[in-house]
Structure 1
Amino acid sequence: MDNSSKVPQESGALEGVDARRTSVTAETLQGIDAPTQPRRGESAFDTEGIAAAAPPEEARVEVAGQWQLMWWKFRKHKLAVVGGVVTLLIYLVAVFADFLAPFPANATSTQHTYAPPQPLRFIERTAEGTRFRPHVYGYTTEIDPVALRRTFVVDESVTVPVGFFVRGAPYRLFGLIPMERRLIGPLEPGGTMYLLGADRLGRDVLSRIIYGSRISMSIGLVGVALSLFLGVLLGGLAGYYGGWVDNLQQRVGEFLESIPSIPLWMGLAAAIPLTIPPLQVYFLITVILSVIGWTGLARVVRGRFLSLKTEDFVTAARLDGMSDLRIVMRHMVPNFMSHIIAVVTLSIPGMILAETALSFLGIGLRAPIVSWGVLLQEAQNIRSVATAPWLLTPGIAVVVAVLSLNFLGDGLRDAADPYA
């Protein structure tokens, strides 16, 4: 058999094999040059060590900083977002209290003692038809035949027009800018508008609640700021140096925590002379709350310092010749700053409740200072509450502020560890 006839056939077969190998190699190289997205459960690198492109979401997470990760996790906590918005609104009300309040905080009217609330209405019905006109109904006076005292009854036949951005009692915005415009108020001079009623001196309860937000919300911030300073300083010293410093700080903190809160507050508040001006009373009450409230934060800071002081970056900073203060403030504190923010946010409601309790018991802030606790003093008398239940509305403001701050603190506490 002629072997020459087999050569072309074999060469053709070999050419087919080479062509298939070439096509397979080209497809393989093409697949390597254009990496595919990894499937769920697979690593970002394949078994041959060739990097595969990550999805855009994973790529964003890999390059995001800690604060951005905290924000992403905080946004998923719906109650925390709502609490943050409400807290921001409350502080804005406190800042612009002069503009938002219809009347000055201490403006009295002896003719309207314990006047009931006048709901704000927007649609007025007249003989000509209905029209948009903000207004409240006026009062008529009646004599109670049993108690022989004057009572107010809302009279729908008397209409008091209400306007926005109306002229009112002059004030200084932020204590600097002289203004007369207020957000809402009666259009007629001397008109009555008590949206939440009046107290025993005929003062507008809504205006006093708005003004009271300044003291009640700011005392929480100032008190927590002082507690934060004491807690970070004393807890940091105890955790960083240890030894007798740690023992002294721990024993002092345990002693303060072992004393009942109410008797301690009463004893410290009783030491404030009655002749001290209201501004100094506010400062002293803030200091008292701060002296009592630093122990919890100090324990947290101490524990974090005990765990961080043995880390490699702290040892490297010591070998580099840095001072202890620079190591603490520059390297250690920023490592748990997010946790401190969460603890501080959760501590503000405690300060607000403490001030409210002290003022309600009469051993805290006193008139003419306007705070939510001072306003609740009006509700101590059962007879007053039965006559004017709207005097309890400052308590609603306290509940809303405390709940919003607690929700915000819970969200920040969860977001403080975005890698969990």
Structure 2
Amino acid sequence: MTAHSFITDDLESAPATSALATGTAPENMAAAGQWTLIWHKFRRNKVAVFAGSLILMLYFIGLFAEFLAPALPEASRPQFTYAPPQSISLFAPAEDGSSRFLPHVKGYTQSVDPESLRRTFVVDDALIVPIGFFVRGPEYKLWGLIPADLHLMGPLKATDTMYLMGSDKLGRDLLSRLIYGTRISMSIGLVGVLVSLCFGVTLGSLSGFYGGWVDMTIQRGIEIISSMPTIPLWLGLAAAIPITWSPLQVYFIITLIVSLFGWTGLAREVRGRFFALRSEDFVTAARLDGSRERRLIFRHILPSLTSHILAVVTLALPTMIVAETALSFLGIGLKAPVVSWGVLLQDAQNVRTIATAPWLLIWPAGAVVIAVLSFNFLGDGMRDAADPYES
């Protein structure tokens, strides 16, 4: 063996061990799998990666809402009605005039206008409310199963108050209610999309694979559903919910209403993809090999659409969240004692509340905007990563 052959062997073997690890040589990823290629393209989109991190954080907040919330969502103190937000300070003055490290918020002093009888709150620099992490507070049941009283953050004394995002008309902590509302609003979108996914993928696959009268029947049904005005129909269906139903029953029926008309677009896209793929060579080979129709659909054709379906589902999630928020805001969706972003926005729909307590509108609306934009950016990034013609 000559020296030239040794050099040639080294040049051929060296890139193979480092291409996937470094991620700096896309031309050496020809042997990588589909999901490896998608992940390699997706992680280069910094905006989509950041949006995905925000979404994971929102679901983490919703999953551990009881632990992360400093108070219970229904705990009220009428003497602190419409209390403004407090800010956290890390250092407090010591007795000798120096500063000491003491995380705290500054308390309120109240005054009543003798003419309008309106109560106003003024931040008192001399009133210090120490706060801490992993403190004992109101008891709760994590996920409704595990009794606990440990909170991530809260006042050290149970009698002290802390309103980092202000309070509502009943003196309830808006931060705690917003955290609890994250669980409902984010999960109802996820459950609604899963229901739409089942309808859309199943009916779209059958329509595109069989064609003929099956395709005609399914497509005419999709056209009838798509021609209906969604918002008035949502309003009518939501208004028909009996008032005697429990909050859990209302939650599932609202999820069904939101997802009832969200599957038609996905079904049409899946149908078009099936029309394009059902005559491909790999489908013909599987058919000649004796594969049944069900195996052809769910084992050979549908897996090739997984990345596209995942991107479409990601883009459909914000629509579900906005739909639930709109129904709850109009008062015909979820209602108290259930807490969601739409229920919180319902408390801020009059001009007087917006003028006296604008934080009741800013924080829930900001949460909806962040969630919707994050899902849109994530969906765009996943769609671009799953597109084989994108560089």
TM-score tier (shorter): over 0.9
Q: Amino acid of the residue matched to residue 165 of structure 1? A: F
1:62 Cα offset (Å): 2.1
Q: Amino acid of the residue matched to residue 236 of structure 2? A: G
Is 1:116 the counterpart of 2:84? The answer is yes
Structure showing greater Rg? 1
Tell me which residue corresponds to 2:274: 305
Contact 1:216–1:355 (CA<8 Å) still a contact in 2? yes
Is 1:67 the counterpart of 2:40? The answer is no
1:403 to 340, 364, 373: 373
User: Structure 1, residues 153-192: CA drift from partner, whole Å, max 9, x if none?
Assistant: 2111111111111111111223322211101111112111
Moved more, 321-330 or 356-365: 321-330
Residues in 2 aligned to 1:314 and 1:381: alpha-carbon distance in whole angstroms: 60
Return closer, same or farther for 1:126/1:246 CA change in 2, 3 Å cut-off: same
1:141 Cα offset (Å): 1.1
Tell me which residue corresponds to 2:75: 107
Residues in 1 aligned to 2:238 and 2:87: alpha-carbon distance in whole angstroms: 39
Tell me which residue corresponds to 1:293: 262
- Identity %, equivalent residues: 60
Is 1:337 the counterpart of 2:306? The answer is yes
2:123 to 145, 154, 177: 154
Return closer, same or farther for 1:33/1:253 CA change in 2, 3 Å cut-off: same
Residues in 2 aligned to 1:243 and 1:226: alpha-carbon distance in whole angstroms: 26
Q: TM-score, normalised by structure 2?
A: 0.93
User: Structure 1, residues 84-123: CA drift from partner, whole Å, max 9, x if none?
Assistant: 1111111000011000000011111111111111111111
Secondary structure in structure 2 of the residue aligned to 1:166: strand
Is 1:364 the counterpart of 2:333? The answer is yes
Is 1:81 the counterpart of 2:81? The answer is no
Moved more, 77-86 or 29-38: 29-38
Q: TM-score, normalised by structure 1?
A: 0.87
Moved more, 222-231 or 147-156: 147-156
2:383 to 393, 413, 419: 413
1:30 Cα offset (Å): 5.5
User: Structure 1, residues 276-319: CA drift from partner, whole Å, max 9, x if none?
Assistant: 11111110011111111001100110001111111122222223
Is 1:352 the counterpart of 2:352? The answer is no
Return closer, same or farther for 1:36/1:330 CA change in 2, 3 Å cut-off: closer
Tell me which residue corresponds to 1:47: none
Contact 2:135–2:151 (CA<8 Å) still a contact in 1? yes
Contact 1:73–1:418 (CA<8 Å) still a contact in 2? no
1:137 Cα offset (Å): 0.9
Tell me which residue corresponds to 1:216: 185
Secondary structure in structure 1 of the residue aligned to 2:347: helix
Tell me which residue corresponds to 2:159: 190
Contact 1:356–1:373 (CA<8 Å) still a contact in 2? yes
2:348 to 374, 379, 384: 379
Secondary structure in structure 1 of the residue aligned to 2:254: helix
Moved more, 275-284 or 145-154: 145-154
1:274 Cα offset (Å): 1.3
Return closer, same or farther for 1:371/1:73 CA change in 2, 3 Å cut-off: same
User: Structure 1, residues 46-72: CA drift from partner, whole Å, max 9, x if none?
Assistant: xxxxx9987853674122111111111
Q: Amino acid of the residue matched to residue 35 of structure 2? A: W
Moved more, 290-299 or 165-174: 165-174
Residues in 2 aligned to 1:323 and 1:362: alpha-carbon distance in whole angstroms: 50
Q: Amino acid of the residue matched to residue 96 of structure 1? A: F
Moved more, 228-237 or 310-319: 310-319
User: Structure 1, residues 302-360: CA drift from partner, whole Å, max 9, x if none?
Assistant: 00111111112222222333221121111111001011111111111110011001100
Return closer, same or farther for 1:381/1:416 CA change in 2, 3 Å cut-off: same
Cα RMSD (Å) of the superposition? 2.0
Residues in 2 aligned to 1:227 and 1:104: alpha-carbon distance in whole angstroms: 33
- For residues 26-105 of structure 1, what are the structure 2 equivalents within 5 Å? 31=4, 34-35=7-8, 56=19, 57=25, 60-105=28-73
Residues in 1 aligned to 2:248 and 2:6: alpha-carbon distance in whole angstroms: 73
Tell me which residue corresponds to 1:9: none
Tell me which residue corresponds to 1:125: 93
Unaligned runs of 5+ in 2: 20-24
